[in-house]
């Protein structure tokens, strides 16, 4: 199918996908769709019960949380070739804990998470590769979050010059 070929072509530009064999690459591509987005377009909101994993192919997507009296705080941006919405791969998450908004016009790949979970169950080799990749992504996000948490630019009042 031309559409799947188009998706495969996009995925092949991404380093991680280059490590997959043809069978696995095709499998993931078959359960993906491409979505053009405009600046300020919402992909999902906090509380949504949708079930996809996203990869930014072009553009930038901001992840945000709404804080009463503060408004929407953007705590991360997914840049080109970055994945977001990873919590769909874990079986326990039921709804989105953050919102995702396109910050500029772009192209997003959307992977059907239910079908991905099923594919991983059926093919443990693929399952292992996917989970390993996700573990890396989550680890890296955790480090970013920790650095944001310690607020390295926050300065306390000091007495000396």
Partner 1 sequence: MVNEQRLEVGSTIAIEKSVLDDLLKRLKENGYQIVGPRVKNETLVYEKIDELNDLPHGYITEQEAGYFRLHEAGHSRYFDFIPGAQSWKQFLFPPRVDLFKLQKTNNHWEKASEENQTVKYAFIGVRACELNAILIQDKAFMREDFTDPIYRSRRERVFILSVDCLHPAETCFCASMNTGPRVKDSFDLNLTELDDVFLVKVGSEIGRNILNGLPFELASSFMVSSAERGLENAAQQMKRELNTDGLPEFIMANLDHPQWQEIGQRCLSCANCTQVCPTCFCWDVTDQVTLNNNETRRERVWDSCFNPGFSYQAGGNTRPSIQSRYRQWLSHKLGSWPQQYGTLGCVGCGRCITWCPAKIDLTKEISIMREEARS
Partner 2 sequence: MIAPTIHSAHETHQLLEPDWAEIIDITHEINDVSTYWLKFNDANLQANYSFQPGQFNMIYVPGFGEAAISICSNPNDHSLIGHSIRFVGNVTNAIKNLKAGDVVGLRGPFGTAWPMKELEGKDIFIACGGIGLPPLRPALYHIMQNREKFGKVTLLYGARTSNDLMYTDEYDAWRAADIDVQITVDRGDSNWTGRVGVVPMWFYQFRIDSRKTSVLTCGPEIMIRFVIFEALARRIPTENIFVSLERNMKCGQGSCGHCQLGPYFVCKDGPVFRFDALQPFFNVEEF
Residue 3 CB, nearest distance to partner 2 (Å)? 29
String marking each residue 100-139 x if it binds partner 1 according to CB under 8 A = ----------------------------------------
Residue 24: count of CB within 10 angstroms of its CB? 17
Min separation Cβ 11 and partner 2, Å:
19
Window 112-151: residues binding partner 2 (CB under 8 A):
140, 143-144, 147-148, 150-151
Report the candidate in 17, 52, 13 with the shortest Cα–Cα distance to residue 31.
Answer: 52
Least distance to partner 1, CB of residue 160, Å:
6
- Provide the binding-site residues for partner 2, judged by CB under 8 A: 39, 60, 62-64, 71-77, 79, 103-104, 140, 143-144, 147-148, 150-155, 157-161
């Amino acid at each position: 199918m031309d559409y799947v070929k188009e998706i495969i072509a996009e995925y092949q530009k991404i380093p991680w996908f280059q490590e997959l064999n043809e069978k696995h690459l095709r499998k993931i591509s078959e359960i993906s769709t491409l979505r053009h987005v405009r600046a300020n377009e919402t992909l999902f909101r906090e509380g949504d019960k949708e079930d996809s994993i996203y990869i930014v192919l072009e553009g930038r997507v901001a992840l945000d949380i709404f804080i009463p009296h503060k408004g929407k705080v953007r705590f991360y941006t997914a840049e080109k070739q970055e994945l977001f919405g990873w919590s769909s791969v874990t079986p326990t998450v039921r709804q989105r804990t953050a919102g995702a908004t396109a910050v500029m016009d772009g192209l997003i790949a959307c992977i059907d998470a239910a079908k991905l979970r099923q594919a991983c169950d059926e093919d443990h080799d693929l399952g292992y590769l996917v989970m390993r990749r996700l573990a890396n992504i989550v680890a890296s996000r955790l480090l970013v979050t920790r650095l944001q948490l310690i607020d390295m630019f926050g300065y306390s009042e000091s007495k000396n010059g």
